[in-house]
Structure 1
């Protein structure tokens, strides 16, 4: 599916596409079957994948790194994809202006 959508997504600014995709995930997540469908496709229940690190238990070792959901606004939607953990942030005590744009870029070979 990604190979089909990639040419279309690459026509637009990466930051705008990021917010477009996360916003649509939020909207689609309100449709009951969509959330269930994503879980059925992406979540794997296998005790062999479970890990305990520094006293924290994870269902699997695959996580989403910080930066994708810097405002922690898409956690329920991202949970549907079966990540063992989701790192949010960067979290600061006060709002920050952010980096100058463009602050997102693509690696065309990806």
Structure 2
């Protein structure tokens, strides 16, 4: 049927579950912590601090450590509370990671490799 006043009716089959735009990928805290740790390691290398700087992740409030320490072999270590980083996403997380790395590098007086 064509011509003036014609209309087309489309039947859309309903999908089970949420539409693609509504799907949310949920990560457990442990897997998000692991992903953040990988991001920090990559960023430390990219900023040029390589093997001289590392992060000690603190996953819960029961663990206590000094914020900045040095290991026996001279590696500089800074701590990070993972529950604080877990609450951040995207660019905000990247900025916070960079801020903490640069704060630690300044504290220890590290120069880029």
TM range (shorter): under 0.3
**As a proportion of its length, which structure holds more helix?**
2
**As a proportion of its length, which structure holds more strand?**
2
Q: TM-score, normalised by structure 1?
A: 0.21
